[in-house]
C-alpha cells in the first residue's frame, strides 16, 4: 500500500524549484499546526524537515509576520498565526471541494482514499474485503487511520469515517451500514474454571475487562424483571483497543463486552460463548459511514460506499 499522499508527492516535486507556491506553503502551515511541530509534520507527511521549515519561512516572509514561536520541542502559534489559521483552513477546504468537483467530472477512481475508523472494524470488517476492492480499482490507494472514538477529521484530509453510536450534529452525510449488538462473553476455558454468571449481579464476582476511556461501551446494561439495570462491573484491567480485550477473553482470562462485528467469528466457532443472553437488551448500535461533501462526493468515496455496502450486506450484524 502506498503510504505517501498525492499532496505529499506534489510537495516533494515543488521542493525542486526555488520557491514554493502559496497553496503549498499554506498546506504545510496547517500540517505544522496539526502535528505540533515542524519535525512531526515532516514525518507525518513524508517530507524533509528542511522542507517544512523552508515553507513556513517563505510564508512568513510573504506575509511579513511571524506565525510560530519556535520552541525546542513544540511550536506554538503567535497571535498573527492564530488569526491566519482560520483563513488557511478555509482555503484548504475550498481547494479540497474544487478537487472533488474536478475528480467527479471524469469519474475516474484514482488517488488516495483516506479512512478513519475503529481499529477493530478495520481489522475484522475492512481488511478481509480490502484486496477485492483494490483489485477492482487498481489506480486507487487506501490509507486507513484508526481511533476508538469518532473524531471529525473530514476537514483535515480524511475522506471517510466509519464509526458506531450516536453522532454529533453536523452537515456531513451519514450512511447507515448496519447495526452492532454488544455481547457479554467469555471463553469456554474461563467458564469451565470459574463458571458462568447466572444473573447480571453475578458479574461483580467475576474477572471483567473494559475500555480505558469514558464511553457508553463501558456501561453493562441488562433487562431484568422488566427493568433496565446497569451493573458496575469491577474491571481488573482496561485498554484503549478492543482487540486487547478480545485477546484476554480468548485466553480464558475473563469476561468482556464487545460488538458482534468484532467477535462474530469467535462466537460462530465457539471460541467465545455469549453470557446472560436471557437478560440481553434488544438494543442495536448503528454503524455509520460518514463523508463531508453532499453534492460532489469524489469517485473514490462513491466507489468505496457502493463496494462495501454490497460486501457487508450479508454480514449478520
Q: Give the per-residue pLDDT at 18.
A: 36
Three-state secondary structure call for residue 145: strand
Q: What is the pLDDT along the chain (317 residues), one digit of tens a residue?
A: 333 343 344 344 444 333 468 889 999 999 999 888 899 899 888 889 899 999 999 999 999 999 999 877 778 899 999 999 998 998 888 887 777 666 555 567 888 999 989 888 999 899 999 999 999 999 999 999 887 666 666 666 788 888 887 766 666 788 888 888 899 999 999 999 999 999 999 999 999 999 887 777 788 999 999 899 999 988 888 888 888 999 999 999 999 999 888 999 999 999 999 999 999 887 788 888 888 766 667 888 899 999 988 888 877 76
The two counts, helices (H) then strands (E), for the chain are 11, 14
Q: Is the distance from CB of 160 to CB of 126 less than 8 angstroms?
A: no
Tell me how far apart the alpha carbons of residues 79 and 182 are, in angstroms, rounded to a whole number. Answer: 47
Tell me how crowded residue 34 is: count the other CB atoms within 10 A of its CB.
Answer: 13
Domains in the chain: ranges and CATH: 6-104 (1.10.10.10), 111-180+285-311 (3.40.190.10), 182-279 (3.40.190.10)
Q: Say if strands 160-164 and 111-117 run parallel, antiparallel, or are unpaired.
A: parallel
Which run of H or of E encompasses 183?
Answer: strand 182-186
pLDDT attached to residue 107: 66
Q: What pLDDT score does 7 carry?
A: 37
Grid cell for residue 160: 471517510
Residue 257: C-alpha distances to residues 174, 223, 242, 299 (Å): 26, 16, 9, 37
Residue with cell 431484568: 224
| 3-class state of residue 227 by DSSP | strand
Determine the pLDDT at residue 71.
79
CB 28 within 8 A of CB 55: yes
pLDDT of 1: 36
Amino acid at each position: 500500500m502506498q503510504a505517501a499522499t498525492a499532496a505529499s508527492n506534489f510537495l516533494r516535486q515543488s521542493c525542486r524549484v526555488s520557491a514554493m507556491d502559496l497553496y503549498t506553503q499554506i498546506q504545510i502551515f496547517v500540517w505544522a499546526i496539526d502535528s505540533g511541530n515542524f519535525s512531526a509534520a515532516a514525518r507525518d507527511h513524508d517530507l524533509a524537515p528542511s522542507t517544512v521549515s523552508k515553507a513556513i519561512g517563505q510564508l512568513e516572509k510573504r506575509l511579513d509576520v511571524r506565525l510560530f514561536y519556535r520552541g525546542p520541542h513544540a511550536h506554538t502559534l503567535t497571535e498573527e498565526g492564530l488569526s491566519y489559521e482560520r483563513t488557511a483552513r478555509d482555503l484548504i477546504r475550498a481547494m479540497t471541494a474544487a478537487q472533488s468537483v474536478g475528480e467527479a467530472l471524469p469519474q475516474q477512481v484514482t488517488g488516495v482514499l483516506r479512512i478513519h475508523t475503529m481499529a477493530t472494524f478495520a481489522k475484522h470488517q475492512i481488511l478481509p474485503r480490502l484486496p477485492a476492492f483494490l483489485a477492482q480499482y487498481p489506480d486507487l490507494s487506501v490509507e486507513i487511520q484508526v481511533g476508538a472514538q469518532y473524531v471529525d477529521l473530514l476537514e483535515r484530509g480524511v475522506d471517510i469515517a466509519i464509526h458506531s453510536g450516536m453522532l454529533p450534529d453536523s452537515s456531513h452525510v451519514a450512511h447507515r451500514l448496519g447495526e452492532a449488538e454488544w455481547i457479554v462473553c467469555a471463553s469456554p476455558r474461563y467458564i469451565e474454571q470459574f463458571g458462568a454468571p447466572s444473573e447480571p449481579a453475578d458479574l461483580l464476582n467475576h474477572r471483567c475487562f473494559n475500555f480505558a476511556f469514558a464511553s457508553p461501551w463501558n456501561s453493562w446494561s441488562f433487562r431484568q424483571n422488566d427493568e433496565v439495570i446497569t451493573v458496575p462491573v469491577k474491571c481488573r484491567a482496561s485498554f484503549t483497543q478492543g482487540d486487547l480485550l478480545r485477546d484476554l477473553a480468548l485466553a480464558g482470562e475473563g469476561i468482556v463486552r464487545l460488538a458482534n462485528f468484532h467477535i462474530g467469528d469467535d462466537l460462530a466457532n465457539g471460541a467465545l460463548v455469549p453470557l446472560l443472553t436471557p437478560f440481553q437488551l434488544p438494543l442495536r448500535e448503528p454503524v455509520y459511514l460518514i463523508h463531508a461533501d453532499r453534492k460532489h462526493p469524489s469517485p473514490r468515496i462513491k466507489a468505496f460506499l457502493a463496494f462495501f455496502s454490497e460486501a457487508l450486506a450479508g454480514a449478520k450484524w
